[in-house]
Amino acid sequence: MQNALPTLHATIKVNLGGRSYPVVVGAGALRSIGPRLARLGVGRRAALISDRTVLGLYGRAVLESLKTAGFAVSEILVPEGEMAKSLAVAEQCWDRCLGARLDRNSTLLALGGGAVGDLTGFVAATYMRGIPFVQLPTTLLAQVDASVGGKTAIDHPRAKNLIGAFHQPRLVITDPETLVTLPDREFRSGLAEVVKHGVVLDADYFADIEAGVEKILRRDLPTLERIIAGSCRLKARIVEADEREGDSRALLNYGHTVGHALEAVTDYSRWLHGEAVSIGMVAAGRLAQRLGVAAGDVAERPLRLLRAFGLPVTLDGPAPDTILEAMGRDKKVRDGKLPFVLAPRIGEGLLTFDVPVDLVRETLKEIQGSEPGGG
């Protein structure tokens, strides 16, 4: 039956009143996009935004499901990775939307990783002052983090995600089967966001990740479904409490103050996002120790887990002062003070703007060139 919906998928509701939406997690879920979108009552015109590689892998299944459900779908190809998140690419997407005669009831669908999702959400937020969009994340990083929460953006040449809007999706469909084809480096990159959720939000979830390292790395589907759904539940809880990133949602930026700066100073070409965040989390752990706010092994357990996942834990390249300059352009800076999320203990995050710059510089020097904690 073409309109039958799978019943074994986990569904996490993001409760935001009139902007509420479901996050569907389950193997094979991509093939249910047509009937699920039809049930939302949107218009019959849609556009699928993706890059050439992802469209070649999963475009056919998505397009067939949409067309069988009665949608007229245009395809919009964009560059792979962070190169998609530019004003020039967004303008090309607006032109294609006009050419496809999309109106305010039409839907944009993002099929790909976090960059495609960020771009598509931004285009949807700005086209005709806002049209519906759907997230179909195909990378682990996008599935556990970027696809949920409505943060959309393109990059400025001097700062990541500087130009954007809050625009919630109407639906998120996460299919762990797409991770089978994900390159190993990108898969490991996504694990940084999984670790982050455990460190600052839920100690039991962190322990579950620690216990499941072997199964996670061999991409055991039931384990991945459980971990992805766990991250989505944690992210949904935070978004519901703080949709537009006041204080509590800022906890999700653990490791990102340094991570975003590392990406910016290397023109987004040296590290994948999760790799930069991994280094940023190590820096945040060491900084918490220097400030005397970290209890017990709060720095060492994440460090061991990041190592086990094969993520970078040392800083090799940009000078500390170069990184500090880039951090000063972070959109979350307040009155010239850098925002840092620290973890006093596993499962608990703390946002502070009272970290001395000299202490940050010393911490960056500490993690340069040699493994923190030995090794």
- Catalytic residue from among 273, 286, 301, 332: 273
Q: Does the annotation count 105 as an active-site position? A: no
**Which residues 6+ apart lie within 8 Å of 213 measured at CB?**
305, 308, 309
Q: Does the annotation count 331 as an active-site position? A: no
- Catalytic residue from among 167, 170, 233, 249: 249
CB contact at 8 A, 40 and 106: no
- Catalytic residue from among 177, 186, 245, 263: 245
- Catalytic residue from among 85, 256, 301, 332: 256
- Catalytic residue from among 186, 193, 225, 263: 193
Q: Does the annotation count 19 as an active-site position? A: no
- Catalytic residue from among 85, 151, 160, 197: 151
**Which residues 6+ apart lie within 8 Å of 103 measured at CB?**
43, 45, 128, 131
**Which residues 6+ apart lie within 8 Å of 304 measured at CB?**
none
How far apart are alpha carbons 263 and 275 in whole angstroms?
9
- Catalytic residue from among 129, 218, 244, 334: 129
**Which residues 6+ apart lie within 8 Å of 87 measured at CB?**
154, 163
- The terminus-to-terminus CA distance of the chain in angstroms comes to 56
- Catalytic residue from among 9, 160, 233, 235: 235
- Catalytic residue from among 260, 286, 301, 332: 260
Q: Please identify which residue in the block is written with the tokens 């992805």.
A: 228
Residue 141: in which H helix or E strand, if any? helix 140-141
Q: Please identify which residue in the block is written with the tokens 């290397």.
A: 266
Q: Does the annotation count 273 as an active-site position? A: yes
- Catalytic residue from among 82, 96, 253, 286: 253
Q: Does the annotation count 244 as an active-site position? A: no
Q: Where are the beta strands (DSSP E) in 16-150?
A: 21-25, 45-50, 72-77, 107-112, 133-137
CB contact at 8 A, 311 and 320: no
Q: Does the annotation count 253 as an active-site position? A: yes
Active site residues: 129, 151, 193, 235, 245, 249, 253, 256, 260, 273
